[in-house]
Structure 1
Amino acid sequence: MKNFKRQKKITFTMEKLLFGTAGIPASSSGPTAVGIGDVKKLGLGAMELEFVHSINISKEKAPEIKKAAEQNNIVLTCHAPYFINLNSLEKPKLKASIQRILGSARILNLCGGWSVCFHPGFYQKSTKEEAFERVKKAIKEISETVKEERNNVWIRPETTGKETQFGNLDEILKLSHEFSNVMPCVDFAHFHARTNGKYNSYKEFCEILGKIEKSLGKRGLENMHMHITGIAYGEKGEKHHLNLKESDLKYKELLKALKDFKVNGVAISESPNIEEDALLMKKEYEK
């Protein structure tokens, strides 16, 4: 594949900013391997495998998907199942959460993929400090297991859309300092929703990117996994996704900030219209 370069470490970084779809395009007849070809035909460069309800690709099917991605020069990411809480006090739930992330990482690696993202969990009755320590312990197990298995994918805890969820930017950046194969998945709609309408201007987008650069250095901007979508929200945060033009997200200002900060990586459209917004962003970015 031409869109990334291997590093001395087990992970790899990107050479440009690619736009892609969350799942196969809505216009595609599928299955996944066909959808990857359709992503290429649309002129996009990435696709996120949606494991949000279950890891729906088998070990046997993965080589076919890897071949399709390589033939079409498409970078693959994946979203691990929603049913994850690395702050759970119930051992069976914690173990299952860890295994869902590891299972996603294993299949993605077999598919030749780049980055697995996930929602880390909920604070519940824990303090933020207690939650951080539990999540860190779980991610340490995930990080070490992935390394032992010589798995090349990045592990990406995602910035989340509700105050009840673990995963503000400070927490995700702090985790990224702890482990060499852990980096943020930055969801800009979640920023906007979590703060009930803030983080929606060029200045604020630059603030986010500047904070990432200050914390992680240039590598933090040269290796970004992002989600971008319109979003409905209220006082409690995220409600549901919207198409960009039906939302108040100032995506043009966001794309200008990404360009000005010379961000590389993958920007995945999670809008209901999937590829339409991915193409909208790509066209705006390339102006």
Structure 2
Amino acid sequence: MTKIGSHVSFSDKGLLNAATEALSYGSSTFMIYTGAPQNTRRRPIENQYIDEGREKMKEAGIDEIVVHAPYIINLGSYKKDTFRLAVDFLQDEIRRTDYLGVRNIVLHPGAYTDKDPEYGIGRIAEGLNEVLSGVKDTSVNIALETMAGKGSELGRSFEELAEIMDKVESNGRLTVCLDTCHVHDAGYDIVNDLDGVLEHFDKIVGLDKLAVVHLNDSKNPRGAAKDRHAPVGSGWIGFKTIYDVVHHEKLKHLPMILETPWIGKNEGAERPMYEAEIALLGGTALDRFGGEFAEHVEKLEHFFAKQDIHHRDFILNTWELLKTDAKAKKEDGREPMERLYDLIEAEGLFPELSEEQINHRLTAWLAGKDALLALTK
């Protein structure tokens, strides 16, 4: 069975909190940070309601989750203090991950900052060798994440990942996390040639090394090297491609994790679209939301058709406008989903629904006619 879930919070009651939140979205897997991703402050892992969380997971049939390493770890740094922090902190995070019984911790490989890529690749491999030599008593793999190429970050090509892995002695402990937004932004054409991209990955790294997939749409065209996630269907990648990733014969056995942005007009009231995204990608939207959900999506189809608004054209044209027309962006910087929501609200189409519920239905409309037809069967 395909496992689709989201990034969830590990705060308050730790694993119990994370499992409860994940289940509220209909997740069959999920990803956590074991503490804040921006700092080193950590509560003792033993006190994080681990048994209670595992019991909740067991009741729901969740047998695999993922941990993400903090962003502040940079194994590519030439600065001694930064490198030492990265090695020591990653070892601690691996031990915490092992205590949770999780197999893979996702890691951004690192950035070379003021040096060059060759230096950074060697430095990252040096760090990974030291990290793994210090945690031989654990069974955790480090899943190096494919990166978008922003700034001096490495892992922006399959070749860079392979070069890092080849330099690590215990590279049997290294796996890969494929991020759809990142590979798109790095220049890989998963929209028109997903099979070709996967074949290239298999040749350079090996599909047997894939352990996790991050599901994110992108706010930028292919090759932009920006790394700006969008909700599924509201970016340059589109729902169909992400659906194809989820159900691809060579990928569908892997845990699929959504990291899409929370959205909402009012600050502090933003909500994730995880529940709708998981249901639509997993084909359970009618079971999750009921028949009225399909009727509402049909209503949106008719509403936007009258205004000659096609979901993909509107999305891509809006992003292109915001990218190329500085004046237009300054005067009206609203992103595509916000513009569509405003049209719905102005028409008063769904006065009985909350903003989150309307955005769920908008997410389904953005999935396109194939998904719409599937909803009505």
Q: TM-score range by the shorter chain?
A: 0.7 to 0.9
Q: Say whether 1:122 aligns with 2:115.
A: no
Q: Is the deviation greater in 168-177 or in 115-124?
A: 168-177
Aligned to 1:278: 278
Q: Say whether 1:193 aligns with 2:196.
A: no
Q: Matched residue of 2:30: which SS? A: strand
RMSD of aligned Cα (Å): 3.1
Q: How does 1:46-195 map to 2 (within 5 A)?
A: 46-50=29-33, 51=35, 52-54=37-39, 56-62=42-48, 63-64=50-51, 65-74=53-62, 75-146=64-135, 148-149=136-137, 151-163=138-150, 164-168=152-156, 169-177=158-166, 178=168, 179-195=171-187
Specify the structure having the higher radius of gyration (Cα): 2
Give the strand-richer structure, 1 or 2: 1
Q: Deviations over 1:146-171 (max 9, x none)?
A: 2x22x122101211123421112222
Give the helix-richer structure, 1 or 2: 2
Aligned to 1:22: 7
Aligned to 1:227: 214
Q: Matched residue of 2:247: which SS? A: helix
Deviation at 1:176, TM superposition (A): 3.7
Deviation at 1:185, TM superposition (A): 1.2
Residue segments in structure 1 that go unaligned for 5+ positions in a row: 1-15
Deviation at 1:84, TM superposition (A): 1.9
Distance 1:35 1:271 in 2: 17
Deviation at 1:199, TM superposition (A): 2.3
Structure possessing the higher relative contact order (Cα contacts under 8 Å, 6 or more residues apart): 1
Deviation at 1:218, TM superposition (A): 5.1
% identity of equivalent residues:
17
- How many residues align? The count is 263
Deviation at 1:132, TM superposition (A): 1.0
Name the CA shift for 1:267/1:121 in 2 (closer, same or farther; >3 Å): same
Distance 2:59 2:87 in 1: 32
Q: Normalising by structure 2, what TM-score?
A: 0.61
Q: Normalising by structure 1, what TM-score?
A: 0.79
CA contact (8 A) 2:219 2:235 kept: yes
Name the CA shift for 1:161/1:217 in 2 (closer, same or farther; >3 Å): closer
Q: Say whether 1:244 aligns with 2:232.
A: yes
Q: Is the deviation greater in 265-274 or in 48-57?
A: 48-57
Deviation at 1:191, TM superposition (A): 1.4
Residue segments in structure 2 that go unaligned for 5+ positions in a row: 262-271, 285-370
Q: Matched residue of 1:121: which SS? A: coil
Name the CA shift for 1:246/1:88 in 2 (closer, same or farther; >3 Å): same
